[in-house]
Amino acid sequence: MRALVTGVAGFIGSNLAMRLVADGWSVRGIDCFTDYYPEVMKRANLAPLLVLERFEMVEADLLEVDLDQLLQAVDVVFHEAGQAGVRGSWASGFRVYNETNVDVTQRLLEGVRRNPVHRFIFASSSSVYGNAAKFPTFETDRPQPHSPYGVTKLAAEHLCSAYAHNFGVPVVSLRYFTVYGPRQRPDMGIHRMIEAALNGTTFSVFGDGSQVRDFTYVGDVVEANVLAAMADVEAGTVMNVAGGGSITVAQLLDLVGEVVGRPVPVEWGPPQAGDVERTGGSVDLAKALLGWEPRVDIRSGVTEQVAWHRQRRPA
């Protein structure tokens, strides 16, 4: 099997590509190294892949690349590329989010329409739910994004469904709930908490720490992608990929401090626009259709991520 992994130098894309090659897939990866976070970190994610025989790298912008050539002999598309983060999606930042999350997805869907594949997997987000009325959230609950970022992910989901229902494009959308683990982006909470504890720098908490998050270990997310690639599910299916347990920000700060061996220095600030009070998803559908459920608990996952942070530090 040959896979195309978009956003291959990123957090989830690089972990997924490593797993696919280890499983015997041939992988073509594409990334344009946007400046959302330092390119050197993405290059480091990519480095272990570049020495593998069954990996091919394409440096290009998905808005401009020749998709017919990119999709040649591809069996499965894992569309992990996207502009992440809630706070940057307001005001003038929205244009980049719309281009990267909506326009790119539509262009890829058109490419797959011309060059049929076995499966197209879209990396969606729990941000489509916004401040949900009840928890855990189910795929049948009404999406109501609380940020422009969530709006773009939901728009891309709807595009996937439209291409599935009108043209039979074999799309599965996976709604990720706050992914963490080795190679996590530097703007994400657990990454910044660990770095603050290791370096003695301050971690800013927006709100009172009572916000609840459902964290999902990256290895579990990768497993869901691999299973979705081969499962016999209806085109246009949407599934939650959630960690199965919830924790408050305050509890997470304590946990990171315990694992690192020193507390996280905290500076408290007001809530930020677009942040939701709680996330938490039911994984009943993924369990029924894919045989998937989360395996890694939050303490074990944070321990793995702390080890990765320590490995990256200068001797």
* Residues whose CB falls within 8 Å of the CB of residue 246, separated by 6 or more in sequence, listed in order: 135, 212, 213, 214, 278, 279, 280
Cα–Cα distance, 8 to 166 (Å, whole number) = 29
State the catalytic residue, choosing from 149, 163, 180, 217.
149
The answer to whether 149 is a known catalytic residue is yes
How far apart, in whole angstroms, are the C-alpha atoms of residue 192 and residue 120?
32
CA-closest candidate to residue 178, choices 256, 98, 85: 85
| Nearest residue to 198 via CA among 39, 309, 95 | 309
8 A C-beta contact, residue 200 and residue 265? yes
* CA 80 to chain centroid: 7
Active site residues: 149
